Structure 1
């Protein structure tokens, strides 16, 4: 009897554990709906990201293997079989900024590079890669927005370069363009000057021009620079006329950037 009484008193005065004060809240129907909505939202976001990545990959492949890319590569391969044209490519570089890529070319063995202003605008740092695999950091010496021409300098010497021709190009003169269009590099195509007026304020060329060609040299048959590609014109709506390439004539560049004349004299 005494033992029963002691057990009763122990049970009576035993302190409850902290866990005893906790209780499970019953999940309301509204809470359950919120969880489901959140789950679906996460799934949709994940699916959207995955879809965009797939589309980007497919777009890149399509761009690379598109008819234009294949035709450019075929023409370039045929032209590059000519030894003197293959040599032109040694001086044509890839200009890589933090968010964009374009073309440029060396104009002096000490590492002076010409390209477009819009290729290097707000792009920092700038990397220059030569076909040989040599990679350099580039400094902007001068950039002319109105002319859309930029002069860069890399710390190199005895680099391959393209000479600048001081006299103007002529209408129907045969020319070559070497650049990095679409996803390709070191692509050569041929064409001719199609302007009707001399001197040219803007050089119109028949060569096929695509994104990535900006900053490409327009070369004479002797490999001299007669212009710098900066854009392609669009055909008028409803017109069967094809667009054409646009380049800055070398005589305008020499007039606006006096440093180039000094570089030419130092060849």
Structure 2
């Protein structure tokens, strides 16, 4: 073979160009850079894996936390009542770009009420009804100061919740239906805590969690009296308990003219 050829002692050897080629050795600095790059890639991979694991763990924690289990238990009990089942048909899940919240239909032609912060910068928006129907939603009106938004979907003869314009009453029994803690169609009951009128904010005793934003506050007859938007957090070492906060429906009707038209049309 050519690679095994060796010249005899008395034979003149003529070098070829390949004899002058040699492997360049990496400098110490280049070796350090390559090593650092490998370490960096390894750390990035580990970081991504850890983030994915944390997300999965967070979902499972939410699903099986004490609060989630208690919410589900209470909701299951209340959902045995026929009128509660009917109320739930109009409460929807709003899916946006990187977000999820609650809304509810207020007209058979598909007008969805929710919070401004649920839909802000999250287009395109999808609305999912409990029966599995999915609709694309357009924003008709959105009021950041009041934190309320009215969406429109293309539908007909859709289940809806009627709106009661007159004030909710102190200690009036109410229901909240929403999608908290990665769950859907969760209902709990409580009462109005306000002791003054007119109400700028409804204070309610219902347990409120992330995902409840945009949930309807309902009377015993299933009439909307408010829209959930937050939960109060008492000061540290305070004896006060937190409570849910909702926008009174009469304020929303005043600020969203289109909603007044829909009420008159019901």
Tell me the equivalent position of 1:187: 186
- Counterpart Cα distance in 2 of 1:102 and 1:232: 15
Tell me the equivalent position of 1:4: none
- SS of 1:70's partner is helix
Gaps of at least 5 residues in structure 1 are: 1-6
Which range moved further: 71-80 or 50-59?
Answer: 50-59
Tell me the equivalent position of 1:147: 146
- SS of 1:38's partner is helix
Tell me the equivalent position of 2:120: 121
- Counterpart Cα distance in 2 of 1:161 and 1:149: 18
Q: Deviations over 1:101-137 (max 9, x none)?
A: 1100000000011001111111110100100111001
Tell me the equivalent position of 2:218: 219
For the pair shown, the structure with the greater C-alpha radius of gyration is 1
Tell me the equivalent position of 2:257: 258
- Counterpart Cα distance in 1 of 2:121 and 2:33: 45
C-alpha displacement at 1:142, in angstroms? 0.5
TM-score, structure 1 normalization: 0.91
- Counterpart Cα distance in 1 of 2:138 and 2:28: 64
- SS of 2:167's partner is coil
C-alpha displacement at 1:45, in angstroms? 2.1
- Counterpart Cα distance in 2 of 1:243 and 1:158: 39
TM-score, structure 2 normalization: 0.92
Gaps of at least 5 residues in structure 2 are: 1-9
- Counterpart Cα distance in 1 of 2:37 and 2:74: 54
- SS of 1:108's partner is coil
C-alpha displacement at 1:180, in angstroms? 0.5
Tell me the equivalent position of 2:70: 71
C-alpha displacement at 1:82, in angstroms? 0.3
- Counterpart Cα distance in 2 of 1:158 and 1:98: 28
Structure 1 residues 55-204: aligned runs within 5 Å? 55-204=54-203
- SS of 1:47's partner is helix
- Counterpart Cα distance in 1 of 2:32 and 2:124: 50
- Counterpart Cα distance in 2 of 1:27 and 1:156: 69
Q: Following TM superposition, where does structure 1 have runs of at least 4 consecutive aligned residues deviating by more than 6 angstroms?
A: none
Tell me the equivalent position of 2:51: 52
Give the alignment's Cα RMSD to 1 decimal.
1.7
Tell me the equivalent position of 2:34: 35
Q: Deviations over 1:28-77 (max 9, x none)?
A: 44444443333222222222221221122112111111011000000000
- Counterpart Cα distance in 2 of 1:43 and 1:157: 54
- Counterpart Cα distance in 1 of 2:130 and 2:231: 25
